Structure 1
Amino acid sequence: MSKHRKKFISFVEEAMAKGAKMSQEEIMFSYKGILYPATVCSPETFKALESFEARSDDVFLAGYPKSGTNWVGQILTDLVVTSQKNNESVEDEELEEFPYLEVGDAEKYQRMAKLPYRRVIFTHLPPQNLPDSIFKNKTKILLLLRNPKDVATSFYYFTNALAPLPSYKNWDDYFSAFMLGQMPWGSYFDYVLEWNKHADDDNVMTITYEELKANRASGVKRISEFFDLHLTDEEIQGVVDRSSFQAMKENSDKTHGAFGNVLFRKGDVSDWKSLFKEDHNQEMDTKFEECLSGTKLGEKLNYKKYCKA
């Protein structure tokens, strides 16, 4: 499954080269109160995004950074490509675009208008910053959530490993920035809280990283049915087999180049226990209680099971 890969690798390599030449002060910019990496996003792109026209048959994946969007994005792309196996246009490399909606140049959306049926699009944006056409046209969105402690842990290793993102001297400095929402794409807690407003929307399906890890076959089948992809049981099983973390990690040099080693680091649940100390746990537990306790998505995250020391 190679869709998006060549341009994905080229784009990331260029961003990493740019980031290596920039100071920590230059790496990020603020747009509507949220920080973004200047190597891959721009105010001009965000302005152009406002007029993006979503289609009712688009396949959207939304998730906060390091929630597993690259993993689940590959699953989604594989499902769509498999469902359209007789449509040669889905593999047209000339029509490929970097899959994250908000990443790229301002002319990207004009090119995307030429993409064929069932565009697969990823985004880290909260719903209030997405184009109005997505909700107006009832475009289906798979919302991916992951427990905040594992997100914070994964993001720590990720941001320190990539030149286009800020780096931190130690875990304590990073943790303070994460809890204050001073991260690329903003606050995790604000992100989940904003999406909670759409938790009951018919065009939004929520799935957690943890439940997909626990039963990938069931999750893949549900995702396929939500997007009306009409795959056979054998085709579903093929996607399941190709989407194990180990299989994707072993194939990451082909799908993501050198970037793959950073993206597919561990893929574990509860890796946060290797970094969190008592004071970190207390602060995160309090923040979750204040922001997300009693919300539908807060319950979906099953915080007591996955985040209690």
Structure 2
Amino acid sequence: MDKPRKKITDFVEKAEVVARTMRRDELLFSYNGILYPVTVCSPETFRALESFEARSDDIILAGYPKSELSYSLPSHAMLHFFRLIRTDILLLIRNPKDVATSYYHFSNGMAIVPSYETWDDFFTDFMSKRVAWGCYFEYLSQWNKYADEENVMTITYEELKENRLLGVKKIAAFLGISLTEEELQLVVERSSFQAMKKNSQKTHGAFGDILFRKGGVSDWKNLFSEDQNEKMDKAFEEYVGGTKLGKKLKYEVYCKA
């Protein structure tokens, strides 16, 4: 494990140890109306983002929890200073039902966020904006305002699952990276979920199995009730139905029972 990655895993491990000593109601704090984990985020960091200046060659990966496979800047916080930066931003989004499902399992595996006895309890909090990192639908709605910016590329979790080779080519083209056929194939092989899960102990330490659970599509069908389906369908239409990001998610394909 390289030093930067080890520094991150050590940080998370220490945060987990501290979180296990805290009560459930102590795990989150609110900043600008969004809940965040106390042991890995701080108001001081978010205030510092207000004067953050990115370099022209910086690349930022933005993603709501469990919509992507890497750690990224806190999504809502980054929106706050979006106008201050002119660097490349890769926005990865995922169908909301699988986001909620994956987030539920993540919450019950990581001590830094509150765990849940039942899926129904988690769903209520997820839809009521009471989970860490805020409301996914509000997140999508806010990002939709910047979806046409030339320095923002949006790609979905599902299209990467469908055709990883094409997805890698699109990302490389957006970032201006020239890859040989051999390099392209290497990236495709190493970025498969199976490969990342197999190597997760080396890359993410003790939390590899939690971060890389299934990596599939439509796992939500194992949890959602008919009533929950209807509530999320309604919320999707209210926040992003008919928008650019809403259409890109192909809700009718991935989120209809």
TM-score by length of 1: 0.80
Q: Give 1:56 deviation, angstroms.
A: 1.4
1:21 aligns with 2:7: no
Distance 2:138 2:206 in 1: 32
Amino acid corresponding to residue 278 of structure 1 in structure 2: E
Distance 2:248 2:79 in 1: 23
Distance 1:157 1:183 in 2: 13
Where structure 1 has 5 or more consecutive residues not aligned to the other structure, the ranges are 71-99, 101-121
Kindly report which structure 2 residues correspond to 1:246-285, keeping only aligned pairs within 5 A, or say none. 246-285=194-233
Root-mean-square deviation over aligned CA pairs: 1.5
Contact 1:35-1:184 within 8 A present in 2 as well: yes
Distance 1:52 1:249 in 2: 33
Distance 1:207 1:283 in 2: 25
Residue of structure 2 equivalent to 1:228: 176
Q: Give 1:225 deviation, angstroms.
A: 1.2
The structure showing larger relative contact order (alpha-carbon pairs under 8 Å, at least 6 residues apart) is: 1
Contact 1:54-1:139 within 8 A present in 2 as well: yes
Amino acid corresponding to residue 67 of structure 1 in structure 2: S
1:144 aligns with 2:92: yes
Secondary structure of the residue that 2:24 maps to in structure 1? coil
Secondary structure of the residue that 1:164 maps to in structure 2? coil
Q: Give 1:136 deviation, angstroms.
A: 3.8
Where structure 2 has 5 or more consecutive residues not aligned to the other structure, the ranges are none
Paired residues in the alignment total 257
Q: Give 1:128 deviation, angstroms.
A: 6.3
1:36 aligns with 2:36: yes
Residue of structure 1 equivalent to 2:58: 58
Amino acid corresponding to residue 53 of structure 1 in structure 2: E
Deviations 1:254-275 (A, max 9, x none): 0001100100000000000110
Contact 1:128-1:194 within 8 A present in 2 as well: no
Residue of structure 2 equivalent to 1:131: 81
Amino acid corresponding to residue 277 of structure 1 in structure 2: S
Contact 2:64-2:93 within 8 A present in 1 as well: yes
Q: Give 1:55 deviation, angstroms.
A: 1.1
Q: Give 1:145 deviation, angstroms.
A: 0.6
Deviations 1:40-75 (A, max 9, x none): 0011111122222111110111111100141xxxxx
Q: Percent identity over the alignment?
A: 61
Contact 1:29-1:38 within 8 A present in 2 as well: yes
Q: Give 1:2 deviation, angstroms.
A: 4.5
Q: CA 1:201 to 1:278, structure 2 compared with 1: closer, same or farther past 3 Å? A: same
